[in-house]
Amino acid sequence: MKQFKGLVKKEWNTYKSIFLWPIWLTASFYAMIISVSIYGYIKNNFVLNFPSNFDISKANLFFYFSSKIMTIIPFALMVLFLLKIINNMMNDDFKNKCAIFHLAQPVSLTKIIGAKLFLLLAGGLTIPFGIALFNQIVYSTLFKYYVNANVKYGFLALLQCTLIVLLPMLFVITFKMMCDTIFQKKNQLVVAVIFLIEMVIKIVNAVWKIHLPSLIGNIVNLIIGKTIVYPYSMDKINNQIISGGEFTLLRQSIEGMLINLFDPINLWRIALSVLFIIITYYVYKQREIA
């Protein structure tokens, strides 16, 4: 256990500056908003106001939907930094000619890769969750003050979106670990191979009149599929009308997110993530040590 904690700490000390970038960006955003607000108030006596006759049901629906967007943004931002971290994490030891030293230690390769994956998941989930939670507290306070929205819908959106992005992030992290282990620093090869396979699929479909699924389409679907429910679809509007208002757009959206948590696509994400980790382990094990 001490070995594993030491490996995690080593990875954190190496890449913590990149992990913390979303926090600095969020702090900069709030500093800018506060500065602009103070300037607007001093110069133009600007004060934000909402109509007093605001429809509370519409306010709650908008509050719930916008809270989901505000929750997903920090996680999406974190993914962009994780792509850089993963590339460095899987290749820097080999690039800097110190892989032979690290792999010569009395530590199993399972623990080495496990420590990398643990930090990517722990840091990649807890940091954006902390940012999203802080954003939601601020956002809920403003909506409660200005339009008397029910803050429980904001925190419900936070909880649902946090749970629903766990497996897509696991899929992205393990897929990137596998690609960076196989192709090392040649990221353009990953894109080239994916587009080459996609082109072959299209040619085969056109020539043989079959319907092989799109590789790019499936990758995109595994990343973002079933992660959000649009509340203003015609189906939901019709259901609300037919039910006489019992199944409101807000209720349907909340239930839709709960259904998505148990969608079969999540089983594919888990199975493929396990496969990617296994491939990463064996490819990493076979890499030439300099």
C-alpha 17/C-alpha 27 separation (Å) is 15
CA 238 – CA 224 distance, rounded (Å): 26
Minimum mean pLDDT among 42-51, 102-111, 167-176, 254-263: which range? Answer: 42-51
Contact 125, 221 (CB under 8 A): no
Would you state the pLDDT for residue 185? Answer: 67
**In the chain, what are the helix, strand and coil shares in percent, each to the nearest 5?**
80, 0, 20
The pLDDT value recorded for residue 52 is: 59
Count of the separate structural domains present in the chain: 1
pLDDT grade, residue 79 (50/70/90)?
Answer: very high
Distances in Å between the alpha carbon of 66 and those of 27, 33, 52, 169, 247?
Answer: 20, 18, 20, 21, 20
Segment 63-80 mean pLDDT: 91
150-159 pLDDT tens trace: 899 999 999 9
pLDDT beyond 90 at 21: yes
- pLDDT confidence of residue 102: 53
Mean pLDDT lowest for which of 36-50, 112-126, 160-174, 200-214? 36-50
Mean of pLDDT over the chain: 84
**How far from 71 is each of 125, 131, 155, 158, 178, CA to CA, in Å?**
12, 8, 10, 6, 28
Range with lowest mean pLDDT among 12-21, 245-254, 257-266: 245-254
In the numeric block, which tokens belong to residue 230? 């649009």
- What pLDDT is attached to residue 145? 82
Q: How many whole angstroms separate alpha carbon 154 and alpha carbon 156?
A: 5
Alpha-carbon distances, residue 124 vs 101, 156, 162, 215, 233 (angstroms): 28, 21, 12, 26, 32
**CA of 196: how far to CAs of 192, 193, 200, 203, 272, in Å?**
6, 5, 6, 11, 21
> pTM score, two decimals?
0.86
Q: What is the pLDDT of residue 289?
A: 57
Tokens of 131: 């940012």
Tokens 């191979």, residue?
193
- Name the residue range of residue 158's domain: 2-286
- Please state, in angstroms and rounded to a whole number, the distance separating the CA atoms of residues 52 and 100: 68
CA 167 to centroid of chain Cα atoms: 9
The answer to whether 120 and 86 have CB atoms below 8 angstroms apart is: yes
Instruction: Report whether pLDDT(113) > 70.
Output: yes
